[in-house]
Structure 1
Amino acid sequence: MLLQHLDYLLALAAERHFGRAAARCHVSQPTLSVAIRRLERDLGIVIVQRGHRFEGFTEEGRRVVTWAQRIIAERDEMLADLERMRGRLTVTARVGAIPTAVPASPFITAEFLHRNPAASVRIEALSSREIARRLADFEIDAGLTYLDDEAPPGTRSVELYREQYVLVAPHDHRLMEHTEVTWTDAAAMELCVLTTTMRNRRILDANMAAEGVSYRPAVEADSVDALYAHLTHSRRATIASTAWLPQLGVPQGFAARPMVQHGPRPAIGLVVLDRAPASIVAAALVAVAADIDLGSRIDSMWSEMTAVTRGPRR
């Protein structure tokens, strides 16, 4: 059994299509098909349900995929460990980030790349639930997500910062005269918010419910960039995290005011699988997360921003 055959199998598991899996592995489709059949012959089982096209895996095949994920992850860890012993890390750190944490991710990646100049980073915007699944399947090295009752099991984490919510709205809107905005007042606006599949949206809904109000968003999107795009040339508003502002700022003609805080501020952190030996890449990311004191930096930037944009209040 060749490790390359396991690579092909994992590509097929990800793409669920022989042609796309072959393209992902930079081989011909017949080459990939022959390799999968060779793997089946070596193991003495049927792995793939075949018809005119890929129809899924057998029960034994699903188990082989699970083991293949572990084996390939350990191979990659061995190679990374050897690189570390030679004094350089050339791997690609795979990080899944919830949409609300994506704008803050450059603080992590910049320091990681400073410490490991030969490495690279791939960021994917994922839901908190998808981060949990991909960590368990060894498809990502770390996640940037909420540290709450929906945090992935079997992981360890480092808290990075706590979200503080602000209303981003046209600067001449009456609510921008307030020092703090209630969720009841915000609910009356044309809001652009994330979809209900996102943990951030569920947090916003809970804050609305805490004041006994319901609301109907004007726009729902699955990325922060999309929310900001819908603010341009409109009278719409969004409820942002202060962690977005260092990278995205406040759109021209808009201002930001703090929302009333109900309960503790939600924590965002870096999560990695809790396993021994620890992943070399995950350990390097954890070391960065533990050192940068991101919460203080974001809070300081927000304080500076409010000092510059402070206007009349009541």
Structure 2
Amino acid sequence: MIDKLEFFIALAREQHFGRAAEECGVTQPTLSAGIKQLEDILGVMLVQRGSRFQGLTPEGRQVLDWARRIVGDTRAMREEMRAARHGLSGRIRIAAIPTALAMVPRLTTPFRDKHPGVTFSILSRTSIEVLSLLGNFEIDAGITYLDNEPLGRVTSVPLYAERYQLITAAGNEYSDRDKVTWEEVSTLPLCLLTPDMQNRRIIDQHLADAGVQVRPTLESNSMIVLFSHIRTGKWSSIMPLNLAETFGFAEPIRAIPIVEPDASHTVGLVVAKRDPNTTLVQALLDEAMALAGDFRRRS
């Protein structure tokens, strides 16, 4: 029955029989037959059928919650038994917001030193996508903001506070300052993350609280694109302090604290709320708590 539940979860996620079958590594008739058998076992219709996928029935939406829990618990049991026989192994899938990507090695490197049988997949995603992927079992953990928008049913470990800096080239306006206000920053030609990024929504809110609005001269969902434009000396940006430090800005690039207010937002690890967690996820949570302690000692 587990395989049929996995078929159903994939169909709910992909909303397309062909793509769901491809994801599950089966033919479309096999997937359709599996879901029909699941309906027969449960005695309810799960999928609104037509010439193509038309959505889940109300009963299907209820079953989907149960299916995710049952499949998640089954995976946890399998992982725990595999770890008991062979030690911790497998792949951990993590999605992180772009501003947190630079700190991911501080989590993954010591983890793999302890568990060399584990490999990682790291994705860059928006905060909304992180939570969606987590809810659909497409990732094992996410790294995102904890205090700015609703998280839903997750277990979280606060890692560090994100504080904001004006990143600009020497010789630009305000580049000789020790600090600068949000209102002053608004007068500069800025390159910022795209509006679908929570970091951008946070920045826009702080600018609005300062009574100003900004129309950036360049937007991108890539931090590399922003950094490369800052280095031309023609653009400035607003970035978290920890990110600027990781990229090791040197002259002629300066990182200047933004005040009025001196704002900060908490970034942390999130996993789906489940008891018990899979062995891999629990080990990752333990590593995150150790990393959080390291960040607190440094701050």
Question: What TM-score results when the alignment is normalised by the length of structure 1?
Answer: 0.84
SS of the residue 1:267 aligns to: strand
Q: CA deviation at 1:240?
A: 1.0
C-alpha separation between the residues in 2 aligned to 1:23 and 1:181?
A: 53
C-alpha separation between the residues in 1 aligned to 2:127 and 2:105?
A: 19
Superposition map of 1:1-314 within 5 A: 2-86=1-85, 88-148=87-147, 150-231=149-230, 233=232, 235-250=234-249, 254-260=253-259, 262-292=261-291, 293-295=293-295
Q: For residues 136-173 of structure 1, what are the alpha-carbon distances to aligned partners after superposition, in whole Å with 9 as ceiling and x for unaligned?
A: 45443322122215252443332211112111222221
Q: CA deviation at 1:122?
A: 2.4
Q: CA deviation at 1:242?
A: 2.0
C-alpha separation between the residues in 1 aligned to 2:44 and 2:225?
A: 47
Question: What TM-score results when the alignment is normalised by the length of structure 2?
Answer: 0.88
C-alpha separation between the residues in 2 aligned to 1:47 and 1:273?
A: 24
Q: For residues 99-124 of structure 1, what are the alpha-carbon distances to aligned partners after superposition, in whole Å with 9 as ceiling and x for unaligned?
A: 22122212112222222211122233
Equivalenced residues, count? 298
Give the stretch that moved more between structures: 266-275 or 157-166. Answer: 266-275
Q: CA deviation at 1:252?
A: 8.3
Q: CA deviation at 1:212?
A: 2.1
Q: Which residue is equivalent to 1:309? A: none
**Conserved 8 A contact 2:182-2:260:** no
User: Structure 1 residues 62, 251: CA separation in 2 closer, same or farther (over 3 Å shift)?
Assistant: farther
SS of the residue 1:165 aligns to: strand
Give the stretch that moved more between structures: 188-197 or 220-229. Answer: 220-229
Q: CA deviation at 1:246?
A: 4.8
C-alpha separation between the residues in 2 aligned to 1:271 and 1:207?
A: 25
**Conserved 8 A contact 1:246-1:298:** no
C-alpha separation between the residues in 2 aligned to 1:294 and 1:189?
A: 36
Q: For residues 188-245 of structure 1, what are the alpha-carbon distances to aligned partners after superposition, in whole Å with 9 as ceiling and x for unaligned?
A: 1121222333322222123223332221112233343343344454611211112223
Unaligned runs of 5+ in 1: 300-314
Task: Name the % identity.
Answer: 37
Give the stretch that moved more between structures: 247-256 or 209-218. Answer: 247-256
Unaligned runs of 5+ in 2: none
**Conserved 8 A contact 2:145-2:267:** yes
SS of the residue 1:94 aligns to: strand
C-alpha separation between the residues in 2 aligned to 1:246 and 1:110?
A: 19
SS of the residue 1:278 aligns to: coil
C-alpha separation between the residues in 1 aligned to 2:27 and 2:274?
A: 36
**Conserved 8 A contact 1:46-1:58:** yes
**Conserved 8 A contact 1:135-1:141:** yes
